[in-house]
Copies of this chain bind each other. A is one copy, B any other.
């Protein structure tokens, strides 16, 4: 699995791996080192293995206050060293030590659970690495591609937007299947669903274009107050990577024509919410989403498709892949939530404020890394991830 990470950077130059285009973005090099640090810090160190470098320990701690001081996040792009080659060495070093530990059965069940967490953590950073380098390259007037051999499936119009009547009443929410999950998917608990209908696919570029053409970005009545402020202060008038003419967009494969049949992505929560309001609908809650998604197969346009870009739904049903979906739910702990013990308790719990839950994974989510109970989360003004949305509506008895 960790080999996948290195494959993602195959077509990048060393220079590409240095840049931090905004504080939210981390340099490619940093991602490669940080996921390695995670294994070193939470598996090797507890097993008594000495650090590769005290400075690396400082540089590649992301946000674990209990693991010690760390390099300030907005200054990750100031670090030209260690070089990409040195970080590959660091990865190889830690991988070898980890392999030794795994071979010798030196790790108990708890430690093996941390290894599993580390692998899932690395998958999360595989996605971040790609969305971050997309942002970096998009700002370069030369518009370089992050990858040269991506697939671009043939496009066709998806079926018209369709709602399914949702379950109502009390349902079980949270990770109920076997296998790995993050702490924020627990505990399983009851949630109450109101009468509602839920859209079966994501909103498309073509549909979003109608909102733009109708003056959607100019009419405050569609917008939350904070959203309207963002629109005016940042000059938003289209999804993040669209050109001014609304004809092309920047993709991981370089500049491409906008496919009106494909799901819209790189919109903020505010834009998703405004579109829904304009269209006479609303966004689904994360519980409505999860319950509906349980009825669907966990497959879709994920990392393995090697499109690395949203593609049209063929049959009008789309729940996994393409783009993370903004829900109407603030990211909050489930009733009775307990974070992991120790430093790993900082993994998810401390972010449960000011963010919005997104669901379903994207076109750069690892294929085995998504499930109905999976919760990710972003601030409502985030746009640099593959972020799209589906619609929902109230039903009346």
Contacts and interface: CB of A to CB of B under 8 A. Distances in A.
Interface string A70-104: 01000101111111100000000000000000000
Interface stretch (A114-122, A132-140, A243-251, A382-390): A132-140
B228 A21 contact: no
A84 B141 CA distance: 17
A134 to B, nearest CB: 13
Count of this chain's copies in the oligomeric assembly: 4
A142 interface: yes
Contacts of A352: 224
A201 to B, nearest CB: 23
Interface string A15-29: 111110100000001
Interface in A288-316: none
Given A191-B192, A332-B328, A380-B353, A65 B15 contact: no
Contacts of A65: 220-221, 228
Interface in A206-244: 220-221, 223-228
A189 interface: yes
A335 interface: yes
Contact of A71 (B141, B144, B192): B141
A357 to B, nearest CB: 11
Contacts of A191: 192
Contacts of A328: 332
A330 interface: yes
A336 interface: yes
Given A189-B194, A221-B66, A353-B227, A140 B18 contact: no
A105 interface: no
Given A77-B77, A194-B335, A83 B351 contact: no
B353 A13 contact: no
Contacts of A354: 226, 354, 380
Question: Which of the listed residues A16, A144, A350 has the most CB atoms from chain B within 10 Å of its own CB?
Answer: A350
B78 A226 contact: no
A391 interface: no
Interface stretch (A39-47, A55-63, A177-185, A258-266): A55-63
Closest 7 CB pairs of A and B: A330-B330, A65-B220, A194-B335, A192-B192, A16-B80, A15-B80, A225-B350
